Structure 1
Amino acid sequence: MQAIVPAAGEGTRLRPLTDDRPKGLVEIAGKPILSHCFESLLAAGIGEIVVVVGYRGDDIVDYYGDDFRGVPLTYVWQEEQLGLGHAVLTAAEYASGDVVVWNGDNVGNVDLSGLIDHHRDAGAAATLLIDEVSRERAREGAVFVLDDEEPVGVVEKPAAPPSTLVPLGVFVFAPRVFEALRRVEPSARGEYELADAVDRLFGEGGGVEVVHLDGWLTNVNTVADVERVSRRVEDDDA
Structure 2
Amino acid sequence: MNLICLAAGKGSRFGDLGSYLQKCMYPIGLKPFLELSVRNLTQSGIDVSASSLTLVVGHYKEQIQSYFGDSYNGLKINYVVQDEALGTGHAILTAYQQAKLSGPCVVWLADGYVKSEQFASMLSHDMSVVQSVAADRDPAHAKIRVSLEGNRVTKAWEGDSDYVDIGLWKFSEAMVKRLTGRKEVEYRVMPNLQDAIADGESIGYLIEEEWLHLGGTEPTPEINTLRIAQRVRQLEGMDVNL
Q: TM-score, normalised by structure 2?
A: 0.83
The structural deviation recorded for 1:5 is: 0.5
Aligned amino acid, residue 237 of structure 1: E
Partners of 1:217 and 1:43 in 2: how far apart? 20
Aligned amino acid, residue 110 of structure 2: G
Q: Per the alignment, in what secondary structure is the counterpart of residue 180 of structure 1?
A: coil
1:68-87 equivalences under 5 Å are 68-87=72-91
Structure 1 gaps, min length 5: none
Structure 2 residue 190 is the aligned partner of structure 1 residue 195: yes
Structure 2 gaps, min length 5: 216-220, 238-242
Computed over aligned residues only, the root mean square deviation of the Cα atoms, in angstroms, reads 2.2
Relative to 1, partners in 2 of residues 1:23 and 1:237: Cα closer, same or farther, differing over 3 Å?
closer
Partners of 2:150 and 2:205 in 1: how far apart? 15
Which of 195, 205, 210 aligns to 1:210? It is: 205
Asked if the contact 2:34–2:111 (Cα under 8 Å) also holds between the matched residues in 1, the reply is: yes
Match of residue 26 from structure 1: 26
In the TM superposition, what whole-angstrom CA distance separates every residue of 1:87-127 from its partner, at most 9, and x where no partner exists? 11111123222211011100143532122212xxx3x2311
Match of residue 231 from structure 2: 232
Asked if the contact 1:28–1:229 (Cα under 8 Å) also holds between the matched residues in 2, the reply is: no
In the TM superposition, what whole-angstrom CA distance separates every residue of 1:138-168 from its partner, at most 9, and x where no partner exists? 32x412245689631222xx5xx53332221
Aligned amino acid, residue 98 of structure 1: P
Partners of 1:136 and 1:152 in 2: how far apart? 20
Relative to 1, partners in 2 of residues 1:15 and 1:126: Cα closer, same or farther, differing over 3 Å?
same
Aligned amino acid, residue 26 of structure 2: V
Aligned amino acid, residue 130 of structure 1: V
Q: Which moved more, 1:6-15 or 1:198-207?
A: 198-207
The structural deviation recorded for 1:53 is: 0.7
The structural deviation recorded for 1:229 is: 2.1
Q: Per the alignment, in what secondary structure is the counterpart of residue 81 of structure 1?
A: coil
Partners of 2:151 and 2:68 in 1: how far apart? 43
In the TM superposition, what whole-angstrom CA distance separates every residue of 1:13-54 from its partner, at most 9, and x where no partner exists? 323322222112111233112112211221222621111111
Partners of 1:148 and 1:174 in 2: how far apart? 21
Q: Per the alignment, in what secondary structure is the counterpart of residue 210 of structure 1?
A: strand
Asked if the contact 2:152–2:204 (Cα under 8 Å) also holds between the matched residues in 1, the reply is: no
Structure 2 residue 153 is the aligned partner of structure 1 residue 151: yes
How many residue pairs were aligned? 225
1:25-44 equivalences under 5 Å are 25-44=25-44
Match of residue 163 from structure 2: 165
In the TM superposition, what whole-angstrom CA distance separates every residue of 1:171-205 from its partner, at most 9, and x where no partner exists? 111111122124x1221xx2001012211331232
